[in-house]
């Protein structure tokens, strides 16, 4: 199903309110960034900064098919850009990748002084309160990389601006997550990733994936995509040189959503481990209501999720509820 396109802030906002993905065509057309951020610009202005880039055995990042670990290592941005241009010369696939999570203009509400000069060249998409903007990621890539299907762990709303080049994307509603073979919190620190290799979806192995709707489209230069919190996403980088700015917001209305995804997780956990839970608890969780007959159990479960999530904590969570 094609993601709809709009050309005005008013129309765009209606989708954001309903938490439905949408493309704002030509949103960044007047940005200086759109006009001047090419390969030469980055070489000249930021060539010496150090970046954590990835190399993988194929064009997908991270490459969960590979038996070897994908490799992240530091180099200068100039060296990375050099590799990007030479891999374009030789074949269509770029095995190098620099994720926007690894090159942040704003990182956890703090601006990166090394990248602050870039702020002159674009404006913040003003759809939420400024102080709820948590991260701004800068993605710079050649033709070919694909990001592995995942959702963003911090449940942020994502405004994805294609400054230059283009990207194909596909998105899935979090309601479809049970049919998308997520790795699972107890199995993997990469629990926000799916087991599906989107480049070659094997329905024989993953039959449930037939039941989901794929929302897809192409982001052209200056377009902005809205990815609502918790939607799964994967991109394929299409241009010879692609630059993208991703704005991750923790807007107020996220709070409900966060709670909701914790509830969904608790339900799946209870089912997965066949934990004896009162029907009332399950019913009310599935009905998205917070009040339950036995609130102590729910409170105990939810308290684990109030803390910042990390894998060790989930292991501990697992052993605690299993021994109860």
Ligand X SMILES: O=C(O)CCC(=O)C(=O)O
Q: Identify the residue among 135, 160, 162, 254 touching ligand X (CB under 6 A).
A: 160
Cβ pair 106, 135 in contact under 8 A: yes
User: Which among 102-110, 152-160, 187-195, 295-303 is the span making contact with ligand X, rule CB under 6 A?
Assistant: 152-160
Q: Does 246 bind ligand X (CB under 6 A)?
A: yes
Q: Both tokens of residue 184?
A: 């699972």
Rounded Cα distance, 306 and 262, in Å? 9
C-beta of 128: minimal distance to ligand X in Å? 16
Q: Map 67-84 to HEC letters.
A: CCCCEEEEEEHHHHHHHH
Q: Give the nearest distance from C-beta 246 to ligand X in angstroms.
A: 4
Instruction: Say how many residues touch ligand X, by CB under 6 A.
Output: 10
Nearer to ligand X, 189 or 207 (CB): 189
DSSP secondary-structure letter at 194? B
Whose CA is closest to 270, among 298, 296, 289? Answer: 298
Answer positive or negative: Cα dihedral of 127, 129, 135, 138: positive
Among candidate residues 235, 81, 243, the one with its CA nearest the CA of residue 164: 243
**Residue 158 is a binding residue for ligand X (CB under 6 A):** yes
Largest CA distance in the chain: 64
How many whole angstroms separate alpha carbon 64 and alpha carbon 194?
Answer: 10
Is residue 152 a contact point for ligand X (CB under 6 A)?
yes
Q: How far is the CB of 108 from ligand X (least distance, A)?
A: 15
**Which of residues 21 and 263 has its CB atom nearest to ligand X in the complex?**
21
Closest to ligand X by CB, 15 or 317: 15
Between CA 284 and CA 252 the distance in angstroms is: 24
Alpha-carbon distance of 295 to 261, in angstroms, equals 18
The mark string for 61-80 relative to ligand X (x by CB under 6 A, - otherwise) is --------------------
Nearer to ligand X, 54 or 292 (CB): 54
Cβ proximity to ligand X, 163 vs 298, nearer residue: 163
**Between 137 and 317, whose beta carbon lies closer to ligand X?**
137
Minimum CB–partner distance for residue 236 and ligand X (Å):
8
Question: By CB under 6 A, is residue 233 in contact with ligand X?
Answer: yes
147 sits near ligand X (criterion: CB under 6 A) = yes
Q: Which helix (H) or strand (E) holds 146?
A: strand 146-147
Is 139 a residue that touches ligand X (CB under 6 A)? Answer: yes
Residue 194 sits in the site that holds ligand X (CB under 6 A): no
Place of tokens 């194929």: 58
Distance in angstroms (rounded) separating the CA atoms of residues 116 and 282: 48
User: Which of residues 235, 249, 305, 314 is near ligand X by CB under 6 A?
Assistant: 235
Of 244 and 309, the one with the shorter C-beta distance to ligand X is: 244
Question: Which of 96, 208, 158, 1 has its CA nearest to residue 195?
Answer: 208
Q: How far is the CB of 27 from ligand X (least distance, A)?
A: 15
Three-state DSSP at 2 gives strand
Binding residues for ligand X, rule: CB under 6 A, are 139, 147, 152, 158, 160, 167, 233, 235, 244, 246
């Amino acid at each position: 199903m094609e993601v709809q396109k709009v050309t005005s802030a008013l129309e765009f906002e209606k989708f954001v309110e309903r938490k439905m993905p949408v493309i704002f065509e030509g949103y960044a057309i007047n940005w200086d960034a759109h006009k001047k951020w090419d390969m030469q610009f980055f070489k000249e202005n930021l060539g010496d900064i150090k970046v954590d880039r990835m190399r993988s055995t194929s064009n997908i990042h991270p490459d969960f098919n590979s038996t070897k670990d994908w490799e992240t290592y530091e180099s200068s941005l100039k060296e990375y850009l050099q590799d990007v241009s030479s891999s374009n010369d030789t074949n269509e696939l770029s095995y190098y990748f620099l994720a926007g999570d690894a090159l942040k203009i704003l990182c956890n509400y703090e601006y990166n002084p090394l990248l602050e000069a870039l702020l002159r060249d674009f404006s913040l998409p003003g759809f939420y309160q400024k102080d709820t903007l948590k991260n701004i990621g800068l993605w710079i890539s050649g033709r070919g990389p694909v990001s592995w299907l995942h959702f963003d762990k911090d449940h942020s709303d994502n405004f994805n601006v294609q400054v230059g080049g283009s990207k194909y994307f596909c998105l899935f509603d979090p309601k479809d997550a049970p049919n998308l073979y997520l790795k699972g919190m107890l199995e993997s620190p990469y629990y926000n990733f799916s087991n599906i290799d989107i480049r070659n979806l094997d329905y024989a192995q993953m039959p449930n994936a037939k039941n989901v709707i794929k929302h897809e489209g192409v982001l052209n230069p200056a377009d902005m995509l809205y990815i609502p919190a918790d939607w799964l996403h994967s991109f394929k980088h299409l241009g010879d040189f692609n630059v993208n700015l991703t704005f991750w917001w923790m807007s107020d209305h996220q709070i409900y959503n966060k709670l909701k995804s914790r509830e969904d997780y608790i339900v799946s956990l209870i089912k997965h481990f066949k934990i004896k839970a009162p029907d009332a608890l399950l019913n009310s969780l599935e009905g998205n209501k917070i009040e339950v007959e036995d609130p102590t159990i729910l409170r105990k479960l939810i308290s684990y999720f109030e803390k910042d999530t990390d894998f060790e904590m989930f292991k501990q969570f697992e052993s605690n509820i299993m021994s109860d």
